[in-house]
Amino acid sequence: MAEIAKDYQQLPKNYLFREIKQRKLAHIARRPGVHVYDLGIGDVSLPLPSNVTNAMAQKALSLEYAETFTGYEGSEGGVELKNRIAEYYHALGADILPQEIFINDGAKGDCADVQTLFASGTTFGLQDPAYPVYANSIILSGKAGEVDNNGQHKNIVYLECTEENDFIPDVPKEKIDVIYLCFPNNPTGATASEKTLKKYVDYANDNKAILIFDAAYSWFIRETDKPKSIYEVEGANTCAIEIQSLSKAAGFTGVRLGWTVIPQELSAENVDPGEINQLWRKRQQIHFNGPSNVAQAGGEVILSPTGLESVVESTNYYLNNAKSIKATLAKAGIKSWGGVNAPYVWSETPTVDGKKLSSWEAFDHYLERANVIATPGVGFGPSGEGFTRFSAFGKSEDNDAAIKAIVDNLQTN
């Protein structure tokens, strides 16, 4: 008799962005023809540079001819792309070799799969709030342990990100085996300095812990004391895995491309140096045949000097949106954070009729009153209660109109 894993049944009822989509559709059904502005999900709106689309088209067309046709690229991705990524790290002053790079189809898969490396009984540290994929994948794999009345799991340590700590938690006092860090952060937009990251790297090396560094938003960093890669920090190669994505950098949310770095020196309690890199390689050989060759052809252009220039251009556009969101909120007396080195603005929920709204109340209020979608902070974890995430990935005219509609409709009367 086939039996479904009970871990599957422990998952939250609905994935956050699915819940939002359902409420949006219900709203539109109630008000046919209404225009809803979406500052919720982090999907990009700018199209791709022509040199990237041309390279992908050329790769696609080359598959028509026997002389230029190519099949399997291998489960680790193409050599040329890995070389370009190694150069990208070199330019940042980080030491990463091509054989330490595993090309993936965007960060989500590896963010969810990387926990499979670790033994059951591992304690995982997560920023609270955080991208829901980290916790959900740990729950799904059966490693999260028992859940309490607050929905918190025994084997997960929740590192609170609050106004008091500028949404960057200090290194934990207790021993945690594996810590997920996302900087620039989704959802708060907080971005860690070199000094903060160094404390985490030292903590990890001192405690033989491993950091999972989600660097998907590094492309938005403008302040020079904020590292774009964990490997810019001394000592990180022995304790950190980095996961990257071209989704937000280069508009690849639909094309799908990213990578994961597992350094040769990465060490853990029960393995020899170099072994984790080799074990992940085997895991990829079993689970993955590489991302689409067409996507890889586009990625090679993005990692070229002209490609990296176009990344700066498109991320500047979104950073301007973020600036505009922050300015409009500030005028209305609503505090906000992030949005400086990040495409997300984290804002307190407003007080309406003398009552500070909860995250979902603010969601409903913005949708009802202003026809704007914004992500409820509590969807990213309990410490997100009382906050809203605004995504700056829209077209600038929509972005500005949406945030104006929100502040114009803050009062119920």
Question: What Cα–Cα distance (Å) separates residue 20 from each residue in 23, 223, 253, 284, 357?
Answer: 5, 33, 19, 33, 17
Of residues 391 through 410, those in contact with a copy of itself by CB under 8 A are 395
Is residue 209 within the footprint of a copy of itself (CB under 8 A)? Answer: yes
What residues contact residue 363 under an 8 Å CB cut-off, 6+ apart? 20, 23, 373, 374, 375, 376, 388
77 phi/psi in degrees, rounded to 5: 90, 175
In whole angstroms, the minimum distance from the beta carbon of 413 to a copy of itself comes to: 38
Q: Which of 36, 57, 92, 352 binds a copy of itself (CB under 8 A)?
A: 57
In whole angstroms, the minimum distance from the beta carbon of 47 to a copy of itself comes to: 4
In whole angstroms, the minimum distance from the beta carbon of 13 to a copy of itself comes to: 9
Burial classification of residue 24, based on how many CB atoms lie within 10 Å of its CB (0-12 exposed, 13-18 middle, 19 or more buried): middle
User: What whole-number distance in Å separates Cα of residue 273 and Cα of residue 306?
Assistant: 37
Q: Which residue has the tokens 């220039």?
A: 309
Is residue 171 within the footprint of a copy of itself (CB under 8 A)? Answer: no
Binding residues for a copy of itself, total number by CB under 8 A: 94
In whole angstroms, the minimum distance from the beta carbon of 103 to a copy of itself comes to: 12
Q: Which of 93, 142, 151, 273 binds a copy of itself (CB under 8 A)?
A: 142
Is residue 29 within the footprint of a copy of itself (CB under 8 A)? Answer: no
Between CA 152 and CA 159, with CA 158 as vertex, the angle to 5 degrees is 165
Q: Which stretch binds a copy of itself (CB under 8 A): 190-198, 281-289, 320-328, 401-409?
A: 281-289
Q: Which of 54, 152, 304, 396 binds a copy of itself (CB under 8 A)?
A: 54
Is residue 120 within the footprint of a copy of itself (CB under 8 A)? Answer: yes
In whole angstroms, the minimum distance from the beta carbon of 37 to a copy of itself comes to: 16
User: What whole-number distance in Å separates Cα of residue 141 and Cα of residue 247?
Assistant: 26
In whole angstroms, the minimum distance from the beta carbon of 273 to a copy of itself comes to: 12
Report the candidate in 109, 140, 155 with the shortest Cα–Cα distance to residue 4: 140
- Give pairs for 397-403: CB < 8 Å, separation 24+: 398/37, 398/45, 399/39, 399/321, 399/324, 399/325, 400/321, 400/324, 400/328, 401/37, 402/37, 402/38, 402/39, 402/370, 402/372, 403/39, 403/324, 403/325, 403/328, 403/329, 403/372
Q: Which of 28, 133, 352, 405 binds a copy of itself (CB under 8 A)?
A: 133
User: What whole-number distance in Å separates Cα of residue 217 and Cα of residue 215?
Assistant: 5
Q: Which of 23, 36, 53, 83 binds a copy of itself (CB under 8 A)?
A: 53
User: What whole-number distance in Å separates Cα of residue 200 and Cα of residue 92?
Assistant: 19
Q: Which of 155, 207, 264, 304 binds a copy of itself (CB under 8 A)?
A: 207
Of residues 72 through 91, those in contact with a copy of itself by CB under 8 A are 72-73
210 phi/psi in degrees, rounded to 5: -120, 135
Q: Which of 155, 205, 238, 292 binds a copy of itself (CB under 8 A)?
A: 292
Of residues 212 through 241, those in contact with a copy of itself by CB under 8 A are none
Q: Which of 24, 28, 36, 41 binds a copy of itself (CB under 8 A)?
A: 41
Q: Which of 293, 321, 371, 383 binds a copy of itself (CB under 8 A)?
A: 293
Is residue 154 within the footprint of a copy of itself (CB under 8 A)? Answer: no
In whole angstroms, the minimum distance from the beta carbon of 354 to a copy of itself comes to: 38
In whole angstroms, the minimum distance from the beta carbon of 28 to a copy of itself comes to: 17
Q: Which of 27, 92, 95, 122 binds a copy of itself (CB under 8 A)?
A: 122
Judged by DSSP in three states, 352 sits in strand
Is residue 285 within the footprint of a copy of itself (CB under 8 A)? Answer: yes
